[in-house]
């Protein structure tokens, strides 16, 4: 189940949509978590082509974590870290190809102290669509209807 967290400590974001379980190669890859990640990646890469992995067609939102989703996650982590190298103590996003869930109400991972990829995706989405759309992503024309019943306030 994808989660919605109120984010009073993050000035740029009123809330954060997070996965419940990691998404990426060799992860649990629950369908609704994958749908949320794919949705963010599609909107972000259509807004800014530098997030589109070389040689890849546009992101397909199908809830299946496969080679395309893995390539988009890696490209997102690389490009976001290139743009924001000093954004966190770890020097950008963790380059592991995995979108981890937010833990313990923090926007930074406990081990590497890097910004969670899912938090960065929320921020990139808000830059692409605006904070008003971030407040209710279900209004986005690209939002996958199958994800709607899975959104829960965490």
**pLDDT score for 116:** 87
Q: Residue 139, Cβ neighbours under 10 Å: how many?
A: 10
**pLDDT score for 120:** 92
Q: Left if phi > 0, otherwise alpha if psi is -120 to 50, otherwise beta: which for 80?
A: alpha
pLDDT tens digits for range 37-75: 999 999 999 999 999 999 999 999 999 999 999 999 999
Cα–Cα distance measured from residue 63 to residue 88, given in angstroms and rounded to the nearest whole number: 30
**pLDDT score for 151:** 84
Considering the chain, what percentage of its residues have pLDDT values greater than 70? Answer: 81
Q: List, edge to edge, every strand of the sheet that includes 3-6.
A: 15-18, 3-6, 152-153
**pLDDT score for 92:** 75
Cα–Cα distance measured from residue 31 to residue 33, given in angstroms and rounded to the nearest whole number: 5
Closest CA to 20 of 105, 118, 97, 101: 101
Cα–Cα distance measured from residue 134 to residue 111, given in angstroms and rounded to the nearest whole number: 28
Cα–Cα distance measured from residue 3 to residue 77, given in angstroms and rounded to the nearest whole number: 21
Provide the residue range defining the domain that includes 35: 3-153
What's the pTM value of the predicted model, to 2 decimals?
Answer: 0.90
State how many domains the chain has: 1
Q: Residue 68, Cβ neighbours under 10 Å: how many?
A: 18
**pLDDT score for 91:** 60
> Which residues of the chain register pLDDT less than 50?
none
Instruction: Please provide the average confidence, as pLDDT, over all residues in the chain.
Output: 87
């Amino acid at each position: 189940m994808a989660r919605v967290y109120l984010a009073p400590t993050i000035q740029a974001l009123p809330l954060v949509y997070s996965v419940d379980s990691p998404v990426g190669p060799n992860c649990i890859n629950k369908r609704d978590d994958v749908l949320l990640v794919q949705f963010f990646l599609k909107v972000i890469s259509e807004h800014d082509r530098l997030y589109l992995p070389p040689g890849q067609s546009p992101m397909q939102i199908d809830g299946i974590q496969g080679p395309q989703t893995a390539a988009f996650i890696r490209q997102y982590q690389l490009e976001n870290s290139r743009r924001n190298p000093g954004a966190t103590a770890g020097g950008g996003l963790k380059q592991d190809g995995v979108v981890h869930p937010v833990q313990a109400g923090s926007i930074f991972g406990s081990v590497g102290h890097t910004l969670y990829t899912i938090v960065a995706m929320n921020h990139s989405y808000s830059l692409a669509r605006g904070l008003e759309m971030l407040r209710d992503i279900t209004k986005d024309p690209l939002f996958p209807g199958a994800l709607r019943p899975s959104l829960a306030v965490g």
